[in-house]
A and B are shown apart, each in its own frame.
Chain A
Amino acid sequence: MRVDSLNGKKMDMKSILESSYLNYIIRLIMGIVFIYASYSKILDPIAFSSNIHNFGVTPLYIENLIAIVLPWLELFIGIGLISGIKYHASIEISIYLMWAFIILILQAYLRGKSIDCGCFMTDISPSDAAEKRFDMLKRIFEDIIFLIMLYKLKYDANNKKTH
């Protein structure tokens, strides 16, 4: 497959995947996603705390710890991914978080719960239970895409192709 590159030269898919431009775009996307996700949680920890509670998997003291730490963690790794400060650590934490989100939403889905995931709290959440469950599936799919993007960043960072 051949695609026109930005500077007019012909590039094939392999070189696009290896290009550092793609990595910068992924870093920007993931950075914005994390910063956007953290924003409303920092502003309204009470609503976020209720969302964690709905998952019904963690004891209360863990729920409280997550409500306190997670919003800032998302903000810092978002900044880290975009700016390159503590880049490797930011990628590692993002990957752990993404796995945790996928497992959390999936277990809630399989247990028949219909809840707001609290991923992006500024979203207008569907009120209907069936719509909520469909929304949970969409979130899982979305997180898997994010995870693939993050693994690409990790692979390239380990091979010192970028950064």
Chain B
Amino acid sequence: MNNNIKDIFLIILGSLLFGVCRVLLLEDISFIKQAPKSISDNELVNMQFDAPKVVTISQCKQMFDQKSAFFIDARDSLLYDEGHILGAINIHFESNDDDQILSRLEGVKENDFLIIYCSGGDCDLSEELGNHLFEYLGYRNILLYEGGFPEWKENGYEINFRK
């Protein structure tokens, strides 16, 4: 039995060793994921972020009032129709290809602030869309609003819905 545990440990250690060697050989190590970082109010004026950043509800509300950012709703169209942040553009990542995404973002410049949100909690649609816009479509100022639509609505901020 002791030998068995030793062997299990050996196999796992060997896998770790080979895995690390594989990572060192790879040129693209983007699969090593990092959590998006929060951004301070001072940094919000800087352009060209190095990665999508996380914003708080107060930062969102401020940019909403100043009309200094475009809001993007990353949920599916049914949820969007039931209610969304006023003026938000609906882009559901899974059901849109790049051409459709770009056509929805017509008039949005690459340096404009884009605040992307979904349903809050463990919803990662906004993060997936944000990473895609940042890495493949050239949008440099991606902000992720993790509280999402439920938090916005709870605070009684401006919403809109389609009947």
A68-B19 in contact (CB<8A): yes
A93-B14 in contact (CB<8A): no
Chain A residues lying within 8 Å of B3, measured Cβ to Cβ, are: 88
B31-A49 in contact (CB<8A): yes
From 18 to 34 in chain B, residues with beta carbon under 8 angstroms from any chain A beta carbon are: 18-20, 22-23, 26, 28, 30-34
B4-A56 in contact (CB<8A): no
From 69 to 105 in chain A, residues with beta carbon under 8 angstroms from any chain B beta carbon are: 69-73, 75-77, 80, 86, 88-90, 92-93
A92-B4 in contact (CB<8A): yes
**Interface locus among A10-18, A59-67, A139-147:** A59-67
Interface size on B, residues (CB 8 A): 25
A80-B16 in contact (CB<8A): no
B19-A72 in contact (CB<8A): yes
**Interface locus among A1-9, A21-29, A40-48:** A40-48
B11 on the interface (CB 8 Å rule)?
yes
| Chain B residue with Cβ nearest A42 | B22
> Chain A's nearest CB lies how many Å from the CB of B161?
23
Check A68/B10 contact, CB under 8 A, given A60-B35, A92-B4: no
* Complex Cα spacing A70 to B122, Å: 24
> Chain B's nearest CB lies how many Å from the CB of A52?
9
